[in-house]
Structure 1
């Protein structure tokens, strides 16, 4: 076996490819090492355990699915951002079948906390980007937001709709766009 040391990102990329081809059950230190063409020890240089590897893979899948275009200024308005997010959810569902519903089951005990933390970090990045778009959206009518109804609260509502859609595997963003239209524009 080739013992050439690979990079952390190469390991994560090969792990994502394994998941796409064979499902979550394919991810183990040994199978990832084989996919990378390196020794098992090389994987342990980057990840201390299978749980650590799986946690990092989960986070990297979230990052791949929702890799934002160059800055949020790439979105013309909130509706364009939400449409893009639903499209990425659909991509994620196709590329990583069962990911949105099953990845949390991959963790046990203390591993669940780490997995949840990684997932919440990915979610927070999406919420932050959505808030930034809401604040810059030229279509938002004056007075749409106030001290009680903030961009953060509206982003939470939109994000809750998205999470529900993810779990239902329903990628029709028209209802979310209607809420945006009626509430902000």
Structure 2
């Protein structure tokens, strides 16, 4: 069996991304990607079992890049200010193209949710790092029954819910956070 080439996989995903950007997600298909890459259709199937697999890979790649860019986009000194920036950044990304990609995962929604758990874990870790940088947060609030990890999970789940339901007013969540940690 021939070893898969990660460079070719990345190239195929790049062609799929270009098709999605120029023609829409519905235009992505194995045959057109193979044609654009100058490879046989079967070669694409060596890397992706179907269109949904390509969409899932594009979504995962998009969120990985988003989390990398998020690190430099946050400039506020206060944790609550950072939460507002994180929320606005994620909302902007979802409005741009992530929402369309995520909405296209109908046939692989469960697999997509599994992969998103990994992204959520990274976001939780980032929230903890941001909390640790804010010197105004009371240190006495953390104990074995109320941990930074639990609080980060609470914030991440609520932010995710607000984004998913398009309830874009984060101010009440910010107020809860303020009253809890300061």
8 Å contact from structure 1 (residues 86, 172) kept in 2: no
- TM-score by length of structure 1 reads 0.75
User: What does residue 93 of structure 2 align with?
Assistant: 92
8 Å contact from structure 1 (residues 72, 129) kept in 2: no
Secondary structure of the 1:143 match is helix
After superposition, where does 1:42-57 map in structure 2 within 5 Å? 43-57=44-58
8 Å contact from structure 1 (residues 72, 132) kept in 2: no
8 Å contact from structure 1 (residues 6, 38) kept in 2: no
Counterparts of 2:70 and 2:90 in 1: how far apart (Å)? 15
2:30 matches 1:29: yes
After superposition, where does 1:107-122 map in structure 2 within 5 Å? 107=108, 112-122=109-119
Counterparts of 2:87 and 2:141 in 1: how far apart (Å)? 24
Q: Which has the higher helix share?
A: 2
Counterparts of 2:101 and 2:170 in 1: how far apart (Å)? 17
8 Å contact from structure 1 (residues 100, 166) kept in 2: no
After superposition, where does 1:123-142 map in structure 2 within 5 Å? 123-142=120-139
* Aligned Cα root-mean-square deviation (Å): 3.1
After superposition, where does 1:61-76 map in structure 2 within 5 Å? 61-70=62-71, 76=77
Secondary structure of the 1:172 match is coil
Counterparts of 1:179 and 1:71 in 2: how far apart (Å)? 26
Structure 2 alignment gaps of length 5 or more: 1-5
Superimposed CA distance per residue, residues 22-69 of structure 1 (whole angstroms, 9 cap, x where no aligned partner)? 4432332223345x5433455345434434322211211222333344
Classify 1:88/1:52 alpha carbon distance in 2 versus 1 (closer, same or farther; 3 Å).
same
User: What does residue 38 of structure 1 align with?
Assistant: 38
- TM-score by length of structure 2 reads 0.76
Counterparts of 2:181 and 2:135 in 1: how far apart (Å)? 11
After superposition, where does 1:156-171 map in structure 2 within 5 Å? 156-171=153-168
- The size of the alignment, in residue pairs, is 176
